[in-house]
Structure 1
Amino acid sequence: MLEPLAARYATWLGLPAQSTVDTSDEDPATVRAMPLVLRIERQDPAPRTALLEAAATASLAVCLAPEAEPEGEWHEEIRLWLDNRIRKVSRRARGAHWDAVQELPGITVSHQGAQVRALVPGLVAESPKVLSRLQISGSELPDDTPGPPPDDRPVLWLNPEVEMTVGKAAAQVGHATMIGAALLPPADLARWSDQGYACAVRTATRADWAKLHPGPNPATAWRERRVAAVRDAGFTEVAPGTVTVLFSWPH
């Protein structure tokens, strides 16, 4: 399902820094996105890191679910989304609103006290009311200190020089798991599937970021170090061309 991403990855990273995406010809009625619904309760909200890890897993799980396969009921919607600009929109929900979105097609991931539901992508203009009434803003959570990442799963390293809301970061780590899965050989992807697509999210130090960054040759970085990058289109919060997340597969 994710093969188109592998083909586009190197081309996109090879663009000049601060490249913009021309959307002048885009009809708003045709814009598609994957909604990510983050459960953020008023009292005792989930830790930021756990929420991002759940979002990263849920985003990929929808794309690789049995329903996404050629004969599955989600296949056409996901294919149409992947064939265009790959957008995600994060929204927050609590209480009855969280319960209501469980009725929409998608996958909920629960992880260390956090819950995220990734929904099947669709036309933004045709979002059901139960979804469109959920707020996009106001989903900020304080940074936490999760400790060193486990060594048995991929790590999604956040750019230490870029500030992102939890909603923006959730979308970016979701992009990262999708790119990583698109590039992995079948045996590694199968092993990751057996782990439920578990991953770790951490903020890199500036020194580690510089060491990990693929630089001008992303194909070599992936082949030799199993590192891939998410380069943002600049629609929200960050400048076009910003590398927001690095996906690092364990050796």
Structure 2
Amino acid sequence: MNILEPLAARYAGWLGLPAEETALPEASPGEVRAMPVILHLEKAVPPGRTALLEAAASAAVAVCLDERAQPGGEWHEPVRDWVSGHIRKVTRRARGTHWQVAQEFPGVTVTVDGAEVRALVPGRVVDVPKEIARLQIQGSDLPPDEPPPAPDDLPLLLLNPEVSMTVGKAAAQVGHGTMILAALLGADELSAWARRGYACAVRTPAVAQWKQLHPGGDPAGAWRSRRVVAVRDAGFTEVEPGTVTVLAQYR
């Protein structure tokens, strides 16, 4: 069983999976769950923006598909409870000893071209350890960079070229994208992706490319013909509710 099946049912009911309402009821404040995503941002030598986003995208899905998140594993219950509701992520930044302390909490660290991100096992926001809660959320940003063309053999995450997002916001959104992709893939595809450490490419396309890949009013057709899904934001931070922030394509 893929622990991400609840996402497939909500985001892709058109695949004939068990029907669920896409709009979930809001949890009470004490029951809101989120995945902490820790970005390693040193002042002296900051990472590249694209590499950091790629590390974030891989780390989020790696936690969900880790052996410890499967039935009988020590992470199974918290991951299951989280993916059964809103897949909120709270992105924080850490440097120096604070980054080292973050390694002590259950999760997965991914490094891409020197950029490091640790995604922690999700849980109730009110239960976040004080060592993680004190890490700053606001102000996590990096200047744009110019990455080379994306490899043809990696899943591709395209950021909306007409929407401005901080690196913290974008990190959460690309993590949503890899999780939704993983929810829709078959066992053989997931195994092949796992062998590559859930590597992916993050790029900002030209507006014309974005519009060409966008599912529009035919999400089923877009998945079947182009293997593309859209990440539509709930609008809690930075963007308007319903904004498509990321297009995720399995290649």
Answer whether contact 2:53 2:202 (CA < 8 A) is retained: yes
Deviations along 1:13-62, one digit per CA (max 9) or x if unpaired, are xxxxxxxx786x53111100000000000111000000000000000000
* Rounded Cα–Cα distance in structure 2 between residues aligned with 1:79 and 1:118: 16
Higher relative contact order (CA 8 A, sep 6+): 1
Alignment partner, residue 85 of structure 1: 86
Answer whether contact 2:7 2:84 (CA < 8 A) is retained: no
* Rounded Cα–Cα distance in structure 1 between residues aligned with 2:99 and 2:57: 19
TM-score by length of 2: 0.93
What are the within-5 Å matches in structure 2 for residues 143-182 of structure 1? 143-182=144-183
Q: Which residues of structure 2 form unaligned runs of 5+?
A: 15-22
Alignment partner, residue 11 of structure 2: 9
For residue 3 of structure 1, report the CA deviation from its aligned partner: 0.8
TM-score by length of 1: 0.93
Q: What letter matches 2:236 in structure 1?
A: F
For residue 186 of structure 1, report the CA deviation from its aligned partner: 1.8
Name whichever of 182-191 and 148-157 sits farther off.
182-191
What are the within-5 Å matches in structure 2 for residues 137-216 of structure 1? 137-216=138-217
For residue 10 of structure 1, report the CA deviation from its aligned partner: 3.1
Q: Does 1:101 align with 2:107?
A: no
Alignment partner, residue 244 of structure 2: 243
Answer whether contact 2:63 2:108 (CA < 8 A) is retained: yes
* Rounded Cα–Cα distance in structure 2 between residues aligned with 1:238 and 1:11: 25
Q: What letter matches 2:225 in structure 1?
A: E
Alignment partner, residue 133 of structure 1: 134
What are the within-5 Å matches in structure 2 for residues 46-65 of structure 1? 46-65=47-66
Answer whether contact 2:55 2:115 (CA < 8 A) is retained: yes
Distance 1:149 1:215, change over 3 A: same
Q: Secondary structure at the match of 1:109?
A: strand
Q: Which residues of structure 1 form unaligned runs of 5+?
A: 13-20
Answer whether contact 2:91 2:168 (CA < 8 A) is retained: yes
* Rounded Cα–Cα distance in structure 1 between residues aligned with 2:220 and 2:245: 18
Q: What letter matches 1:4 in structure 2?
A: P
Structure 1 runs (4+) greater than 2 angstroms displaced:
none
Q: What letter matches 1:2 in structure 2?
A: L
* Rounded Cα–Cα distance in structure 1 between residues aligned with 2:30 and 2:238: 23
For residue 194 of structure 1, report the CA deviation from its aligned partner: 1.2
Answer whether contact 2:33 2:88 (CA < 8 A) is retained: yes
* Rounded Cα–Cα distance in structure 2 between residues aligned with 1:242 and 1:161: 11
* Rounded Cα–Cα distance in structure 1 between residues aligned with 2:117 and 2:133: 16
Paired residue total: 242
Q: Secondary structure at the match of 1:35?
A: strand
- Percent identity over the alignment is 63
* Rounded Cα–Cα distance in structure 1 between residues aligned with 2:13 and 2:91: 26
Answer whether contact 2:24 2:85 (CA < 8 A) is retained: no
Q: Does 1:228 align with 2:229?
A: yes
Alignment partner, residue 114 of structure 2: 113
Q: Secondary structure at the match of 1:36?
A: strand
Q: Secondary structure at the match of 1:179?
A: helix
Q: Does 1:40 align with 2:41?
A: yes
* Rounded Cα–Cα distance in structure 1 between residues aligned with 2:146 and 2:9: 36
* Rounded Cα–Cα distance in structure 2 between residues aligned with 1:249 and 1:69: 23
